[in-house]
Chains A and B, each alone.
Chain A
Amino acid sequence: MPQNEHIELFQKRYGFRMDYQERQRKKKAREHKLQSKMAQKLIGIKGKIFAKKRYSEKVQLKRTIKAHEEKKTRKKDEGKVPEGAMPAYLLDRENTSQAKLLSSMVKQKRKEKAGKWDVPLPKVRAQSEAEVFRVLKTGKSRRKGWKRLVTKVCFVGEGFTRKPPKYERFVRPMALRFKKAHVTHPELKATFCLPIVGVKKNPSSPMFTSLGVITKGTIIEVNVSELGLVTQGGKVVWGKYAQVTNNPENDGCINAILLV
Chain B
Amino acid sequence: MISKRKLSESEEKEEVVHVLAQFKSESGELLESPIDLPLNITTENLQLICNAFVKKSDEEATPYTFFVKDVEVTSNLAAALKNALLDSEKVLEIIYQPQAVFQVRAVTRCTSSLPGHSEAVISVSFSPDGKQLASGSGDTTVRFWDLNTESPLFTCKGHRHWVLCTAWAPNGQTLASACKNGEIRLWDAQTGVQKGKPLVGHKEWVTWLVWEPFHLNPHCRKLASSSKDGDVRIWDVVLGTCLINLAGHQQGVSCVRWGGTGLIYSASQDRTVKVWRSEDGILCRTLQGHAHWVNTLALSTDYVLRTGAFEPAEFGRPQKTLTHEEAQEKALDRYNLVQKVGPERLVSGSDDFTLFLWNPETDKKHLARMTGHQQLVNDVKFSPDSRMIASASFDKSIKIWDGRTGNFITTLRGHVQAVYQISWSADSRLLVSGSADSTLKVWNLRTKKLHLDLPGHGDEVFAVDWSPDSQRVVSGGRDKVLKIWRY
| Residues of chain A having any CB pair with chain B under 8 Å | 79, 81, 83-89, 91-92, 98, 100, 102-103, 228, 230, 232-236
Contacts and interface: CB of A to CB of B under 8 A. Distances in A.
A87 B119 contact: no
Interface residues of B, number: 44
Nearest to B416: A236
Contacts of B293: 92
Contacts of A236: 416, 437
Contacts of A98: 436, 460
A234 B436 contact: no
B139 A81 contact: yes
Contacts of A232: 438, 455-458
Contacts of B463: 87
Contacts, number: 81
Interface in B453-474: 453, 455-460, 462-463
Closest 7 pairs between A and B when the two form their complex, measured CB to CB: A85-B138, A234-B439, A233-B455, A85-B120, A85-B162, A230-B437, A234-B455
Given A83-B119, A233-B455, A88 B160 contact: no
Given A81-B161, A87-B122, 9 more contacts: A83-B119, A84-B120, A85-B119, A85-B137, A85-B139, A86-B122, A89-B295, A89-B379, A92-B252
A234 B160 contact: no
Contacts of B208: 88
A230 B160 contact: no
Nearest to A236: B416
Contacts of B437: 230, 234, 236
Q: Is the interface of B mostly helix, strand, loop or mixed?
A: loop
A228 B435 CA distance: 13
A91 B140 CA distance: 16
B391 interface: no
Interface in B406-448: 416-417, 420, 436-439
20 contacts: A81-B140, A81-B160, A85-B122, A86-B120, A86-B162, A87-B123, A87-B164, A87-B420, A88-B207, A88-B208, A89-B420, A91-B180, A92-B293, A98-B436, A102-B459, A230-B438, A232-B456, A232-B458, A233-B439, A234-B439
B205 interface: yes
Nearest to B396: A228
Q: Which of A81, A86, A88, A98 has the most CB of B within 10 A?
A: A88
Nearest to A83: B119
Contacts of B206: 88
Contacts of B455: 232-234
Contacts of A230: 416-417, 436-438
Contacts of B207: 88
With a 10 A CB-CB cut-off, give which of A87, A89, A91, A235 has the most chain B CB atoms.
A87
B104 to A, nearest CB: 23
B378 interface: yes
Chain B CB within 10 Å, residue with most, of A79, A92, A228: A92
A234 B119 contact: no
Nearest to B459: A102
A69 to B, nearest CB: 26
Contacts of B269: 92
Interface string B92-134: 0000000000000000000000000001101100000000000
B296 to A, nearest CB: 8
B389 interface: no
B481 interface: no
A137 to B, nearest CB: 54
B164 A88 contact: yes
Contacts of A228: 416-417
A90 to B, nearest CB: 8
A102 B122 contact: no
Nearest to B227: A88
A102 B462 contact: no
Contacts of B140: 81
Contacts of B402: none
A99 B100 CA distance: 42
Contact of A88 (B205, B456, B457, B479): B205
A228 B164 CA distance: 27
Nearest to A225: B416
A79 B460 contact: no
Choose among A79, A84, A98, A234 the residue with the greatest number of B CB atoms under 10 Å from its CB: A234
B297 interface: no
A103 B456 CA distance: 11
Q: In this complex, which of B140, B165, B208, B455 has the most chain A Cβ atoms within 10 angstroms of its Cβ?
A: B455
Most chain A beta carbons < 10 A, residue from B160, B379, B417: B417
Nearest to B453: A234
Contact of A102 (B137, B162, B228, B458): B458
